A and B are shown apart, each in its own frame.
Chain A
Amino acid sequence: MDTLAALGQGFVVAAAPVNLLFAFVGAFLGTAVGVLPGVGPALTVALLLPVTYTLAPTASFIMFAGVYYGAMYGGSTTSILINTPGESASIVTALEGNRMARRGRGAAALATAAIGSFVAGTLGTVGLTALAPLLVSVALAFGPAEYFCLMVLAFTTVSAVLGSSRLRGAVSLFFGLGLGLIGIDTQTGQARFTLGFPALLDGIGVVIVVVGLFAVGETLYVASR
């Protein structure tokens, strides 16, 4: 019951009004920056790091937690309203939420995203706190073969289930894999398909692909109709 006592003490500290204010400020800033297409939760936390330099450690941790949860939620706003998912986690929100918005139910979609984010964040944090020691052995049992199976499952599910044509889904999958080929091979250190450009040695980053595909692509599509 040591854990519960420590948790109780933590809740007492976190419930102080000034700390709750920091949590609110963090969530507000995190949502505001998380709305930007291409800026995902990790990048949001990294960008907002300097804001916490002048704060006490407890307050800055609480603020960071607020920033993180705000950033996780913030991607849903642009996904639902302008069909521009800013990061890979918001793509599914864009698929369903934008259709709701086009039928005039945008407010319901935004509320669903907010409530879902809250419930999921709470359940996730509780699960992490309570079950992490138990799941460590499961996580360590995952080897290269299991990861490969997970990848194959993800690839086949996404390309075959989403969309109306399996052929075009497979084309998209292989195109994405081909984009990932560009750069230095991590296993052998060979440069692949850089066409002589040193800037391509690091490969094409996920943020660039996401912004190019969703933000620029959506703009081009809407402007050309």
Chain B
Amino acid sequence: MAAPGGGGAGPLAVAGGVTALGLFFLVGARWIEGEAAYAGVGPRAFPVLIGAGLTVLGLALCGAVARGQPFPDTGERARWAPLAWIAGGLAAATVTLVPAGFPVAAALLFAATARAFGSRRLLRDALSGLGLGAVTWLLFARGLGVSLPGWFG
């Protein structure tokens, strides 16, 4: 990411994101209906407060980045491929949980996370995930009565 010592695209993107989130809360507060219930404090009060606070803090963060204040950084470059694998695994597990069941979702998530950490043996990882997911499902769904989807619905 950025070199240690502050500055760079990463911290600036974070500061910009915070400002954008503050503006989102501020603008979104206009769409909330409802009258002020007590002492002028209604459902719009806290969104406006938090939106204004986030916007001000985001601008302050942008200023800090522009001034070159040091951000805590290990100095190593972040690798994006493992992030993509884990995010993809999480998305796949979320999507397949209800149609395909908990063991299948666990297998997908386990295999994707193992791949993110550098394992190349996808079949072994998927089978391990399937086994772990099945044991967990048995323990929780059969043993404790938690409603988890089993094998394919």
- Contact residues of A with B, CB < 8 Å? 47-48, 50-51, 164, 167-168, 170-171, 174-175, 177-178, 181, 185, 187-190, 192-193, 216, 219-220, 223-225
CA distance A32 to B37 in the complex (A): 47
How many A-B pairs fall under 8 Å by CB?
Answer: 86
B121 to chain A minimum Cβ distance, whole angstroms, is 17
Q: Which residues of B contact A185 (CB under 8 A)?
A: 34, 43
Judged by a CB distance under 8 angstroms, whether B72 is at the interface is yes
> What 5 A-B pairs are tightest by C-beta distance, nearest first?
A223-B82, A190-B43, A190-B34, A185-B43, A223-B116
Contact call A170/B25, Cβ cutoff below 8 A: no
Given A47-B140, A47-B146: A193 touches B28 (CB 8 Å cut-off): yes
Q: A171-B18, A171-B57 are in contact. Are A223 and B144 (CB under 8 A)?
A: no
B123 at the interface (CB under 8 A from A): no
User: Are A178 and B144 in contact, CB atoms less than 8 angstroms apart?
Assistant: no
Let me know if A181 and B140 touch, CB within 8 A: no
User: Which residue of B34, B47, B79 contacts A188 across the interface (Cβ within 8 Å)?
Assistant: B34
Evaluate contact between B53 and A190: CB separation under 8 angstroms.
no
Chain B residues at the A interface, C-beta cutoff of 8 Å:
18, 21-22, 25, 28, 32-35, 37-38, 42-43, 46-47, 50-51, 53-54, 57-58, 60-61, 64, 72, 74, 76, 78-80, 82-83, 85-87, 90, 113, 116-117, 140, 143-146
B13, chain A: closest CB distance, angstroms: 14
